Homo-oligomer: A and B are copies of this chain.
Amino acid sequence: MKKAALLLLPNLIAEHKHHAPYLPASVDKAVLSLDGLIAENPHAGRRYLKRFMELRDADSVPIAICNKHSGKEDIDFLLEPVVEGQRWGFVSDGGLPCMADPGAQLVFRARQLGVAVQAFSGPSSITLSLMLSGFSAQSFCFHGYLPKEQQARQSHIRQLEEHAQQTTQIFIEAPHRNAHLLEDLLETLSPKTWLCVTWDLTLASQGVVTQPVEVWRKTPLPSIQKKPATFLISAAT
């Protein structure tokens, strides 16, 4: 008998034809066991299922929606079939559920309802960029998105720089604002602070630049606009 559970499924962090090089085999088995899939939107959910099964089978799996607009009553509704004994997956648009993505509300409520939760590993731009940066990951803080308003953002950057004396600081930006954030960072940070920028992780176009701000200021900037990117700062001494 299949065990009722909410399965937290990894997604790719870039467009790839085949998923096998990036997702472990346990995910294949898990997806084939699902009674339904919760996704951030119906098209992405259907596309995800088609990676693992024939078109006809993928079309027969019910899809429900959970995203940043979902409220508490939506969460209870989404978990109802699991409470009643079914296996449902949750997948975000890219990377790991919950990690700078929706999902935590689902898991939090599932725990209160005594529903089993299983998590699978997969690519995360947070861990990949920490590894690739060369900065210490003995401790680190992930901040998600910085404030949009420039003055608030610059003062936030100065705070992060202070914390970076001890602990690697990592944050992200909406891809269409990447160039602005990079400009602000180079304007605001001290010359000796180390800045790492990664983009297009897991794609052939992937890039990582790790250097002190004073070197960043003297070299041509990489073209990161509209590309998924991460930003890391460290004292790196």
Contact = CB atoms under 8 A, between A and B. Distances in A.
A82 to B, nearest CB: 14
A134 interface: yes
Interface string A68-93: 00000000000000000000000000
A99 B210 contact: no
Main secondary structure of the interface of A (DSSP, over half): mixed
Contact of A107 (B108, B121, B132, B140): B132
A138 interface: yes
Contacts of A124: 121, 124, 127
Given A136-B104, A140-B141, A210-B108, A131 B97 contact: yes
Contacts of A167: 141
The count of identical subunits is 2
A8 B137 CA distance: 14
14 contacts: A8-B132, A21-B25, A21-B26, A22-B26, A23-B24, A97-B131, A103-B131, A107-B133, A107-B134, A110-B134, A111-B134, A111-B208, A117-B132, A121-B127
Given A98-B131, A108-B236, A111-B208, 5 more contacts: A21-B26, A22-B24, A98-B130, A107-B131, A124-B127
Interface of A: 8, 20-26, 29, 96-100, 103-104, 107-111, 117, 119, 121-124, 126-128, 130-144, 167, 208, 210, 236
